[in-house]
Amino acid sequence: MAMPENRKRPTTDTAQSARNPTAPDNPPSPGARVNVAVRVRPLSEHESKTSSIIRVVGHNCLVFEVKAEAEPFYSQGQRACGGLVKPNQTFMFDHVFDEDKNNEYIFEHTTKEMPTSFFDGCNIFVFAYGATGAGKTFTILGPEECPGVAS
Protein backbone atom coordinates (compact mmCIF):
# COMPACT_ATOMS: atom_id res chain seq x y z
CA MET A 1 0.00 0.00 0.00
CA ALA A 2 1.46 3.37 -1.02
CA MET A 3 1.79 6.16 1.49
CA PRO A 4 -0.46 9.17 0.79
CA GLU A 5 1.37 11.96 -1.02
CA ASN A 6 1.18 14.38 1.91
CA ARG A 7 2.67 11.76 4.29
CA LYS A 8 5.79 10.92 2.30
CA ARG A 9 9.07 11.77 3.98
CA PRO A 10 10.79 14.66 2.19
CA THR A 11 14.16 14.07 0.58
CA THR A 12 16.61 16.71 1.73
CA ASP A 13 20.25 17.56 1.33
CA THR A 14 20.66 16.87 5.04
CA ALA A 15 19.14 13.41 4.71
CA GLN A 16 21.39 12.71 1.74
CA SER A 17 24.52 13.84 3.60
CA ALA A 18 23.61 11.57 6.53
CA ARG A 19 24.27 8.64 4.23
CA ASN A 20 27.77 9.94 3.49
CA PRO A 21 30.01 10.12 6.57
CA THR A 22 32.57 12.21 4.68
CA ALA A 23 30.06 14.91 3.66
CA PRO A 24 30.80 18.39 5.03
CA ASP A 25 28.65 19.90 7.76
CA ASN A 26 25.38 21.14 6.29
CA PRO A 27 22.98 23.49 8.04
CA PRO A 28 19.55 21.97 8.65
CA SER A 29 17.63 21.88 5.39
CA PRO A 30 14.47 24.03 5.33
CA GLY A 31 12.52 21.04 3.96
CA ALA A 32 13.64 18.70 6.72
CA ARG A 33 11.13 17.85 9.40
CA VAL A 34 13.59 16.69 12.07
CA ASN A 35 17.34 17.14 12.25
CA VAL A 36 19.22 15.06 14.80
CA ALA A 37 22.57 16.15 16.23
CA VAL A 38 24.61 14.02 18.62
CA ARG A 39 27.26 15.40 20.93
CA VAL A 40 29.87 13.06 22.40
CA ARG A 41 30.95 14.44 25.76
CA PRO A 42 34.47 14.06 27.13
CA LEU A 43 35.08 11.05 29.34
CA SER A 44 34.90 11.64 33.08
CA GLU A 45 37.98 11.01 35.23
CA HIS A 46 36.56 7.61 36.20
CA GLU A 47 35.66 6.73 32.59
CA SER A 48 39.08 7.76 31.26
CA LYS A 49 40.63 4.77 33.06
CA THR A 50 39.14 2.65 30.28
CA SER A 51 38.96 3.33 26.57
CA SER A 52 35.93 4.91 24.92
CA ILE A 53 33.60 2.63 23.00
CA ILE A 54 32.36 5.51 20.83
CA ARG A 55 34.21 6.60 17.71
CA VAL A 56 33.12 9.61 15.65
CA VAL A 57 33.55 9.03 11.92
CA GLY A 58 33.22 12.14 9.79
CA HIS A 59 30.49 14.65 10.56
CA ASN A 60 27.52 12.28 10.51
CA CYS A 61 28.52 8.88 11.83
CA LEU A 62 29.06 7.20 15.22
CA VAL A 63 30.50 3.73 15.64
CA PHE A 64 30.03 1.82 18.90
CA GLU A 65 33.09 -0.39 19.24
CA VAL A 66 32.04 -2.77 22.00
CA LYS A 67 34.35 -5.72 22.44
CA ALA A 68 32.56 -9.06 22.79
CA GLU A 69 34.66 -9.90 25.86
CA ALA A 70 33.92 -6.55 27.54
CA GLU A 71 32.77 -6.48 31.16
CA PRO A 72 28.99 -6.10 31.55
CA PHE A 73 27.84 -2.60 32.49
CA TYR A 74 25.97 -2.18 35.76
CA SER A 75 23.85 0.81 36.75
CA GLN A 76 22.36 1.12 40.23
CA GLY A 77 23.23 -2.50 40.94
CA GLN A 78 21.35 -3.82 37.89
CA ARG A 79 22.91 -5.16 34.72
CA ALA A 80 22.16 -2.35 32.25
CA CYS A 81 22.59 -4.25 29.01
CA GLY A 82 21.78 -7.89 28.53
CA GLY A 83 21.94 -10.18 25.54
CA LEU A 84 24.61 -10.57 22.91
CA VAL A 85 27.09 -7.80 22.25
CA LYS A 86 27.09 -6.61 18.64
CA PRO A 87 30.52 -5.10 17.91
CA ASN A 88 31.02 -2.13 15.59
CA GLN A 89 27.45 -0.87 15.32
CA THR A 90 27.23 2.17 13.04
CA PHE A 91 24.65 4.95 13.41
CA MET A 92 24.06 7.90 11.07
CA PHE A 93 22.77 11.34 12.14
CA ASP A 94 22.49 14.79 10.58
CA HIS A 95 25.39 16.01 12.74
CA VAL A 96 27.82 14.30 15.10
CA PHE A 97 30.07 16.43 17.30
CA ASP A 98 33.09 14.94 19.04
CA GLU A 99 34.25 15.80 22.54
CA ASP A 100 36.50 18.61 21.24
CA LYS A 101 33.61 20.74 19.90
CA ASN A 102 32.46 23.61 22.13
CA ASN A 103 28.97 25.10 22.54
CA GLU A 104 29.70 27.94 20.11
CA TYR A 105 30.68 25.49 17.36
CA ILE A 106 27.57 23.39 17.98
CA PHE A 107 25.38 26.53 17.93
CA GLU A 108 26.91 27.62 14.60
CA HIS A 109 26.15 24.22 13.04
CA THR A 110 22.71 23.50 14.52
CA THR A 111 20.58 26.34 15.87
CA LYS A 112 22.06 29.59 14.52
CA GLU A 113 19.69 29.78 11.53
CA MET A 114 16.58 28.68 13.42
CA PRO A 115 15.29 32.19 14.25
CA THR A 116 15.42 33.05 10.54
CA SER A 117 13.48 29.87 9.73
CA PHE A 118 10.96 30.77 12.43
CA PHE A 119 10.38 34.23 10.95
CA ASP A 120 10.03 32.58 7.53
CA GLY A 121 7.06 30.63 8.92
CA CYS A 122 8.67 27.37 10.03
CA ASN A 123 8.07 25.81 13.42
CA ILE A 124 11.23 25.23 15.43
CA PHE A 125 11.91 23.17 18.52
CA VAL A 126 15.18 22.31 20.23
CA PHE A 127 15.50 19.73 22.97
CA ALA A 128 18.17 17.55 24.51
CA TYR A 129 17.76 13.90 25.36
CA GLY A 130 20.14 11.67 27.24
CA ALA A 131 21.14 10.03 30.47
CA THR A 132 21.68 11.92 33.72
CA GLY A 133 25.06 13.62 33.58
CA ALA A 134 25.33 13.37 29.79
CA GLY A 135 25.61 17.15 29.31
CA LYS A 136 22.10 18.17 28.22
CA THR A 137 21.90 21.31 30.38
CA PHE A 138 25.48 22.26 29.53
CA THR A 139 24.73 22.03 25.79
CA ILE A 140 21.37 23.84 25.86
CA LEU A 141 22.01 26.52 28.51
CA GLY A 142 25.75 26.39 29.15
CA PRO A 143 27.64 28.30 31.83
CA GLU A 144 28.00 32.10 31.66
CA GLU A 145 31.47 31.87 30.10
CA CYS A 146 30.32 29.38 27.43
CA PRO A 147 26.61 29.92 26.59
CA GLY A 148 24.65 26.98 25.26
CA VAL A 149 22.87 26.65 21.93
CA ALA A 150 19.63 28.20 23.26
CA SER A 151 21.21 31.04 25.25
Contacts of 147 (CB under 8 A, 6+ apart): 103, 104, 107, 141
> Residue 23, annotated ligand binder?
no
> Residue 112, annotated ligand binder?
no
Cβ neighbour number for residue 62 with a 10 Å cutoff: 19
> Residue 121, annotated ligand binder?
no
> Residue 58, annotated ligand binder?
no
> Residue 132, annotated ligand binder?
yes
> Residue 82, annotated ligand binder?
no
Helix/strand/coil for 58: coil
Q: Please measure the distance between the N-terminal and C-terminal CA atoms of the chain and give it in whole angstroms.
A: 45
> Residue 133, annotated ligand binder?
yes
Known binding residues: 130-137
Query: Which residues make up each annotated binding site for ATP?
Result: 130-137
